[in-house]
Amino acid sequence: MKALYYPAWDQLEIRDVPEPAPKPGEVVIRVAAVGICGSELHCFVTHAPRRPPPAIMGHEFCGEVLQVGEGTSGYRPGDRVVVNSVIACGRCEDCLDGRVHLCREGEVFGMKRPGGFAERCAVPVSTLLPLPDGVSPLQGALVEPLANGVHALSLTRQRFPETVVVIGAGTIGLMVLQVATAAGALRLVSVDVSDARLQVAQQLGAETVLNPRTHDVVTTVRHLTRGRGADVVVDAVGAAETRRVAVEAARRGGEIVWLGLHDDPTQVSGFDVVLGERKVLGSFAVTHHDLRTAIGLFAHGKIALDPWVRTFPLLDGARVFQELATDPPADYIKALLLP
Ligand SMILES: [Zn+2]
Ligand SMILES: [Zn+2]
C-alpha cells in the first residue's frame, strides 16, 4: 500500500510499504481522510525527539473497517469509524481512575506505531468510535481537533459566559470559537497575529477580532468588558507571551485555559492569580466523551469548515506537508489528506 513515509529528519516521500495486519484486539481500517496536525509540523521543523523518524505520521483520521483481528467484538467490515489518537494502556492508575487521556504509558498514532498517513492502518478497537452516516469523512478527520476544543471548554465551569477570548485562530482556536458559540458564550473575541486568520474567525462568529501587532489585547478586552476582563480566556497558542496575556485578560474569578506546548517556562503574575482567584487550567488531549460530543456537533451542523479547511490527495502529501511546515499558505489553515 501507499503511505506518506518519514524516513529521516526533513524528508518525506510517498512509498510502498507492507500492508498492516491486525494483531489481536485490532482492526485494519481503510483511511478515508487524515488531518495534518500542527504538532506534527512543529516536531518536523524542530526535530523534536518526541517524533523521530522513521515513521508514518498521522493521528487525526477516520475510515472504514476492512478487516477484524482476533478477540475484537462490536465492529464489522464496512463500519465507519473515527479513531482516538491516543492508545491508553488501560492498566496504570490514571487509566483506572478514568483519566485515560493522561495515561503516561499511552501511545500516539504516528509515533512508535504507524499512523494514518497511509491507505490502511491497524488500530486497537479500544480507540474506535462509530461515525454516524450524517458525518462526512472530512468531518470525521476533524473530530479529534474539534474534541480538543470541546475538552478545553469542558474544563471551565461557567455557563453562558459573557465574554470568551480565544488566543490563536489556527485549527484549535477556530474549533474553540465554534464550540464556545454552541455552548452558549455570548461574545467571542479572537486574537491572532494574522489578519487573514482573523477574517476567518470573524466569519465563524467572533464579534471582535484583535491583532496584537496593532492592538494591546489586555487593554482592549478590559475596555470591552467595563474594565473587568473576560470570563474565560483560552490560549490555543501555548507561547509564554500568550499564556501571560491570557491571565491578564481574564477577570477576577475568571478562568484561563492553556492549550498548546510551544514554550515551557512561562512567567505570569502570581498576584493576579491569587488576589483575583483566577483559575489557570491546563488542557491536554481528549476523552472519549469529548470525541462523542465532537461527533454530535458535526452531526447537528454546528461546525463550519468553510473557508479554512482544504483537502489534497495523499500522493501530494509530501509537498503539502513541507509547504505548511516552511511557508504556511494564506488561503487555508487546515489540510486534510485523502488516501
Ligand atoms: Zn493533533
Ligand atoms: Zn494508562
| Secondary structure, 3-state, 6-31 | ECCCCCCEEEECCCCCCCCCEEEEEE
Residues near ion ligand 2 (Cβ under 5 Å): 88-89, 92, 95, 103, 105
Q: Report pTM.
A: 0.96
Q: What is the CA radius of gyration of the chain?
A: 20
Q: Given pLDDT bands bounded at 50, 70 and 90, which one contains residue 328?
A: confident
- C-alpha 274 – ligand 1 centre gap (Å): 33
Q: Which residue has the higher pLDDT, 164 or 330?
A: 164
Is residue 191 within 8 Å of residue 165, measured between CB atoms?
yes
Mean pLDDT, rounded, for 213-231 = 98
Nearest bound ligand to the CA of residue 92: 2
Please say if the pLDDT value at position 330 is more than 90. Answer: no
According to CATH, what is the number of the domain 147-282? 3.40.50.720
Average pLDDT over residues 247-266: 95
Looking at the chain, the whole-number percentage of residues with pLDDT higher than 70 is 100
- Asked if residue 69 has pLDDT above 90, the reply is yes
Average pLDDT in the 102-120 region?
95
Average pLDDT, the chain: 96
- Which pLDDT score is estimated for 261? 87
pLDDT of residue 245: 98
CA distance 205 to 186: 10
Could you say which DSSP state residue 215 is in?
A: S
Q: How far is the CA of 60 from the centre of ligand 2 (A)?
A: 21
Which pairing describes strands 334-338 and 309-313: parallel, antiparallel, or unpaired? parallel
Please report the pLDDT score of residue 73 as a whole number: 87
Measure the CA–CA gap between 52 and 312, rounded to whole angstroms. 25
Gap from CA of 92 to ligand 2 centroid (Å): 4
Report whether pLDDT(50) > 90.
no
User: Which ligand number lies closest to the CA of residue 99?
Assistant: 2
Distance 94 CA to ligand 2 centre (A): 6
Contacts of 39 (CB under 8 A, 6+ apart): 261
Spacing, Cα 60 to ligand 1 middle (Å): 6
- Residue 82 contacts residue 131 (beta carbons within 8 Å): yes
- Domain assignments of the chain as residue spans, ordered by start: 2-142+305-338, 147-282
Residue 173 has pLDDT above 90, yes or no: yes
CATH number of 2-142+305-338: 3.90.180.10
pLDDT (0 to 100) of residue 260: 87
DSSP class per residue in 63-96: EEEEEE-TT--S--TT-EEEE-SEE--S-SHHHH
Q: How far from 332 is each of 24, 70, 183, 208, 249, CA to CA, in Å?
A: 40, 42, 26, 21, 28
Arithmetic mean of pLDDT, 13-22:
97
CA of 286 to the centre of ligand 2 (A): 14
Query: What cell does 316 get?
Result: 501530494
